[in-house]
């Protein structure tokens, strides 16, 4: 099968799932692990997990250890983890331990894959680590309604001039998946990110707070219009609007102090960028390098998921996400039982 045919068959597969069910997926174009397939068919709660955290978030073997721990938290709280990646051109929903280790050892050799990159990676039979937008796409494709990540992308500072806006935001506007994250990093423009999500029709909720968190810290100074205090609150929000829901979970209090150090460095870097009139495409590399310098490398050059506070944050999101998935499955079961009666 040539590359163009692979792409065409793949997107025909997407249409079939949208119109029918998982059983219509053609063999070889999409792979569900037996555990995930069984859970979906039986109505058991499933939580999607992205794979960019594994490949690009931290070095081996720390990435593998963290991935296993996050999956274990999902299981301990009553749901099935479905880590998503593309291996040898095949989108995989749920990875075996061997596949998880392969992805971890590949590291940055696996292509960072957003929605726009899916066709290219599949057609070239490549290995892709899925970002938020691609993971949402695949999760929705097979009927997974809850997805856990660290933080989402957003509108970059001076985005009104550069149009540098993450595809995560448009994906939330068109894909009916609940995304559990710690908000967005303050290196981005948080107020404009929330405005853009409003334009996309995305419900933005904060978990047990009225304020949108800023990843490293519990507060961003931006209020939200929706507060979720229990997993059941989210389950009752699901109204089949055709768009996603963003549930922002603040960093655990015991880790907010170390997160505050990175946040302070970000604010210093932002002021220096403004003083030096560094804007546009030059700003983000400057901010990343400056924050890395100010924190003595604690943040890593990409301000990613390498510190203990960041890992704790992702684990906390996994715990909340699993509980939401369980509440959603219970609500669906109760609804089906009522319809049967």
- Phi and psi at 149, nearest 5°, equal -145, -175
Active-site residue, 185 included: yes
Q: Which position among 31, 71, 101, 185 bears the catalytic label?
A: 185
Q: Which residues make Cβ contacts (< 8 Å) with residue 66, sequence separation at least 6?
A: 53, 54, 57, 58, 305, 311, 314
DSSP character for 24? G
What tokens were used for 291?
């924050």
Dist. CA 290–CA 43, nearest whole Å: 48
Count of H helices and E strands in the chain?
Answer: 14, 11
Q: Is 199 exposed, middle or buried (0-12, 13-18, 19+ CB in 10 A)?
A: exposed
Structure-token pair, residue 117: 């990159």
Query: In angstroms, rounded to a whole number, what is the distance separating the alpha carbons of residues 282 and 289?
Result: 11
- Specify whether the CB–CB gap between 135 and 166 falls below 8 A: no
* Token output for 211: 């304020």
Q: Which of 127, 165, 132 is nearest to 150 (CA)?
A: 132
Instruction: Kindly name the residue from 31, 50, 101, 171 that is annotated as catalytic.
Output: 50
- Peptide bond between residue 61 and the one before it cis (omega within 30 degrees of 0): yes
323 part of the active site = no
Residues known to be catalytic: 50, 185
């Amino acid at each position: 099968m040539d590359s163009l045919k692979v792409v065409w068959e793949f997107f025909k597969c997407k249409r079939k799932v949208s119109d029918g069910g998982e059983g219509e997926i053609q063999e070889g174009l999409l792979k569900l692990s037996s555990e995930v397939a069984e859970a979906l068919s039986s109505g058991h709660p499933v939580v999607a997990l992205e794979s960019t955290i594994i490949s690009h978030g931290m070095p081996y073997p720390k990435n593998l250890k963290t991935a296993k721990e996050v999956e274990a938290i999902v299981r301990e709280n009553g749901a099935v983890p479905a880590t998503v990646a593309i291996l040898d051109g095949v989108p995989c929903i749920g990875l075996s331990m061997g596949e998880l280790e392969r992805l971890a050892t590949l590291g940055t050799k696996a292509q960072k894959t957003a929605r726009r990159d899916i066709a290219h990676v599949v057609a070239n039979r490549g290995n892709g680590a899925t970002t938020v937008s691609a993971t949402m796409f695949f999760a929705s494709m097979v009927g997974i309604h809850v997805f856990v990540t660290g933080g989402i992308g957003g509108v970059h500072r001076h985005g009104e001039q550069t149009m540098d806006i993450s595809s995560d935001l448009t994906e939330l506007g068109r894909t009916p998946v609940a995304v559990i994250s710690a908000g967005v990093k303050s290196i981005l423009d948080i107020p404009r990110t929330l405005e853009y999500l409003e334009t996309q029709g995305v419900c933005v909720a904060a978990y047990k707070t009225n304020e949108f968190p800023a990843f490293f810290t519990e507060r961003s100074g931006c209020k939200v219009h929706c507060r979720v205090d229990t997993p059941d609150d989210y389950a009752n929000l699901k109204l089949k609007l055709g768009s996603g829901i963003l549930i922002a979970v603040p960093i655990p209090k015991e880790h907010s102090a170390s997160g505050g150090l990175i946040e302070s460095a970000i604010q210093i870097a932002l002021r220096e960028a403004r003083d030096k009139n560094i804007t546009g495409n030059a700003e983000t590399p400057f901010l990343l390098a400056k924050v890395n310098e100010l924190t003595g490398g604690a943040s890593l050059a990409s301000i990613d998921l390498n510190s203990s506070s960041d890992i704790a944050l992702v684990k906390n999101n996994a715990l909340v996400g699993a509980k939401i998935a369980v509440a959603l499955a219970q609500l669906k079961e109760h609804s089906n039982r009522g319809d049967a009666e």
